Amino acid sequence: MMVSHASRKILLKWGRWVGTFVAMSLICIPGLWIVLSSFRPNVEILSKPAVWIPENINLDHYRAIFSSDPGQGAVPVWNYFQNSMIIASTSTLIAIIIGMAGGYAFARYRFRGKNTLFLGFMLSRTVPGIALSLPLFIVYAKLGIIDTEFGMILIYVALNLPFTIWLIDGFFRQVPEELGQAAQIDGCTPWQAFWHVEFPLAKSGVASAAIFAFLTSWNEFALASQLTRSTGSKTLPVGLLDFTSEFTINWGGMCALAVIMIVPALLLTFVVQKHLVAGLTFGGVKG
């Protein structure tokens, strides 16, 4: 029996929807498990076979980590949250300011060694962060900036800058150069032409670079675990180690802190979702 062209299109459409739903469900399972585990006792978390639907939902793990008794599993959540927010926000702001200048320069100007320098930026992204931990530790020890927010901000700016420059460079290349030239002919200075004409057209790309830089700094664990020691500089990902001991792991408390760490990132993503989607689609459109 022959299937009509219209029926084939409908089947393909439904197939894509079902495939996307199944793939997203598989991706979301670990996150859903963490959220559910933060609301149930350790007995259910460690039970075999696994209990997927919680039978005893409570807020005990959240109460414990925010309590003042270390014996109950309390951790300095507010200190870790403040450290993460300061480090991630400051490093993102610095990376975006420098990245905008670098991305605009690569997109608009010609200079000697431009391609080599750009390639060097991209190759630096191929080095795993954990491979830098030992040399960074030695350098930071000599400079006396181990276990400081300044040290973490410095390394996160360095890690985010190549990707930020590359991303913003791609968006400024999509903005016609003639627009800035026309604005300068009409009396604008180069800075006014950039800020009032070219930047508004590329701000979605800048927002995309900012959210990626922030999430990278917010979630990074490997380097932070090596370069921070005290509550004055530890970030939330490193704070998860507080729930591990020599013989046991407080899975419930760890899941609760993980949920607290995930919520700000989700809220920020939803707030800038419009700019993020617009930026990702704008960068792939040829005028």
Could you list the residue range(s) of the whole structural domain that residue 219 is in?
74-282
Would you state the pLDDT for residue 235? 93
Question: Does residue 120 sit in the same domain as residue 205?
Answer: yes
Does residue 242 lie in a domain region?
yes
Whether 129 has a pLDDT exceeding 90, the answer reads no
Q: Which residue has the higher pLDDT, 217 or 201?
A: 217
Would you state the pLDDT for residue 213? 92
Question: Does residue 47 sit in the same domain as residue 144?
Answer: no
Residue 162: give its domain's CATH number: 1.10.3720.10
Please give the average per-residue pLDDT across 167-180, as a whole number.
87
Does residue 84 lie in a domain region?
yes
Half-sphere exposure of 238 (CA within 13 A, CB side): 24
Please give the average per-residue pLDDT across 145-168, as a whole number.
92
Whether 170 has a pLDDT exceeding 60, the answer reads yes
**Predicted confidence band of residue 71 (pLDDT cuts 50, 70, 90):** low
Residue type, position 36, single letter? L
* Residue finishing a domain among 16, 51, 70: 70
Whether 111 has a pLDDT exceeding 50, the answer reads yes
Would you state the pLDDT for residue 284? 44
Neighbours of 270 (CB within 10 A): 10
Question: Does residue 51 sit in the same domain as residue 150?
Answer: no
**Predicted confidence band of residue 10 (pLDDT cuts 50, 70, 90):** confident
Whether 151 has a pLDDT exceeding 90, the answer reads yes
Q: Which residue has the higher pLDDT, 247 or 90?
A: 90
pTM score: 0.84
Count: domains in the chain:
2
Question: Does residue 47 sit in the same domain as residue 104?
Answer: no
Does residue 49 lie in a domain region?
yes
Question: Does residue 156 sit in the same domain as residue 84?
Answer: yes
User: DSSP per residue over 128-150, as a string?
Assistant: -GGGGHHHHHHHHHHHT-TT-HH
Query: Do 255 and 237 meet the contact criterion of CB atoms below 8 Å apart?
Result: no
Question: Does residue 61 sit in the same domain as residue 79?
Answer: no
Whether 1 has a pLDDT exceeding 50, the answer reads no
Question: Does residue 45 sit in the same domain as residue 133?
Answer: no
Q: What are phi and psi of 153, to 5 degrees?
A: -60, -40
Q: Whole-angstrom Cα distance, residue 114 to residue 123?
A: 14
Would you state the pLDDT for residue 282? 52
Would you state the pLDDT for residue 236? 92
* Residue finishing a domain among 22, 39, 70: 70
The DSSP bridge partners found for residue 75 are: none
Mean pLDDT lowest among 34-38, 64-68, 254-258: 64-68
Please give the average per-residue pLDDT across 193-210, as a whole number.
86
Does residue 93 lie in a domain region?
yes
Would you state the pLDDT for residue 259? 92
Whether 84 has a pLDDT exceeding 90, the answer reads yes
Would you state the pLDDT for residue 275? 63
**What's the chain's Rg over C-alpha atoms?**
24
Would you state the pLDDT for residue 285? 44
**Cα separations in angstroms, 124 against 117, 160, 187:** 11, 10, 40
Please give the average per-residue pLDDT across 110-122, as a whole number.
83
User: DSSP per residue over 48-79, as a string?
Assistant: SS---S-SS---HHHHHHHSS-GGGT---HHH
> Among 31-35, 45-49, 130-134, 279-283, which range has the highest average pLDDT?
31-35
Question: Does residue 58 sit in the same domain as residue 108?
Answer: no
Question: Does residue 41 sit in the same domain as residue 103?
Answer: no
Query: Do 106 and 161 meet the contact criterion of CB atoms below 8 Å apart?
Result: no
Query: Do 207 and 275 meet the contact criterion of CB atoms below 8 Å apart?
Result: yes
**Predicted confidence band of residue 286 (pLDDT cuts 50, 70, 90):** very low
* Residue finishing a domain among 70, 89, 124: 70
Does residue 287 lie in a domain region?
no
Would you state the pLDDT for residue 85? 94
